[in-house]
Amino acid sequence: MTEEYKANEYYRQAQRFVYPLYKMDGVGGFYFSSTATFATYKGRFFCIFAAHALTADEETVENIGMLTTDGNFVPLSVSCKAYKIYRDQDIVICISDTPFEPRNHFNLAPHESATEFNTEGFGWIGFPQKKAVQTIHRSKASPDKVINHLSVASDGRPVWSNAKFLMIGAMLESKSESVIIGRFENVGVKYEYEGFKQKGYSPRGMSGGALFYGPKKFHSEPQSLEDLFLFAGIGLEYDGTSIRGVPRERIISLIEEMLKLEADQSNGAPS
């Protein structure tokens, strides 16, 4: 089935950095959880999401995962080589040796760009609960029925109808080593295709979605996605006036910690 995918090219590319997460309900069905963000660093690939997507007694990622384009549910414990749950940071990081296809990945390594980014504010992209199919009953959870939620956009890309993304903008309030905060008033919102809404969509469900800086000025023609999107962190919560998340630098330090632990273990050092 082909559908008209209502998003401009910048929005289309932005939403390809994130993916909706579902959890198994224990009786053969699934329910919507939150948002995952994809990144790459030092030749490895990462899926990052909010730790509060896991219950307090969950110590694995066996019950949370992604619906794939063949209609199957793939737990992150299968698609990732290793993972670490950082409860104190409210972050989970999963490592893979291969990209999460066919998605975009934020490049977290230092790189030069001719783009001048607007760091006075940031975007937050993810999948709000209100724009998602919140439960997939076990009677409709077989692969042949799950793919009914999949269509093909006019440009040939697969599009899930079970979860639609939202991108919102915030003005940067503060940033420290562990927290990034932006101000966002969710009233009097104008959406590109839905128009004006007195009250915007609740960001609930966008936890784990990427925060990013957009371009302010191009000093040359953009050559890659790195010239259009600069990773700023992972959004975790919205309190009605402010978006709070974990900044880029902290995410990178957690990844470095994981890679060091992995290297030490491979060299036979005690964990």
Inter-residue contact 69 to 147 (CB < 8 Å): yes
Residue pair 228/104 in contact by the 8 Å Cβ criterion? no
Domain ranges of the chain: 2-266
Tell me how far apart the alpha carbons of residues 204 and 125 are, in angstroms, rounded to a whole number. 12
Q: Please tell me the distance from the alpha carbon of residue 69 to that of residue 199, in angstroms, as a whole number.
A: 33
Residue 20's closest CA among 50, 58, 60, 59?
50
With a CB cutoff of 8 Å and minimum separation 6, the contacts of 268 are none
Cα(58)–Cα(70) distance, rounded to whole angstroms? 27
**CA–CA distance, 37 with 126 (Å, rounded to integer):** 9
Walking along the chain (271 residues) 10 residues at a time, the average pLDDT comes out as: 56 93 94 96 96 96 93 93 96 94 90 90 95 89 86 70 89 96 90 83 94 90 88 96 97 95 73 51
Please write the tens of the pLDDT for every residue from 115-174.
999 999 999 999 999 998 888 999 998 989 888 887 776 667 777 778 889 999 999 999
- Tell me the whole-structure pTM to 2 decimals: 0.91
- pLDDT, residue 229, reads 95
Say how far apart CA 136 and CA 128 lie, in whole Å.
Answer: 16
> Angle 148-153-157 (CA atoms, 0-180°, nearest 5)?
95
Residue carrying structure tokens 């066919």: 102
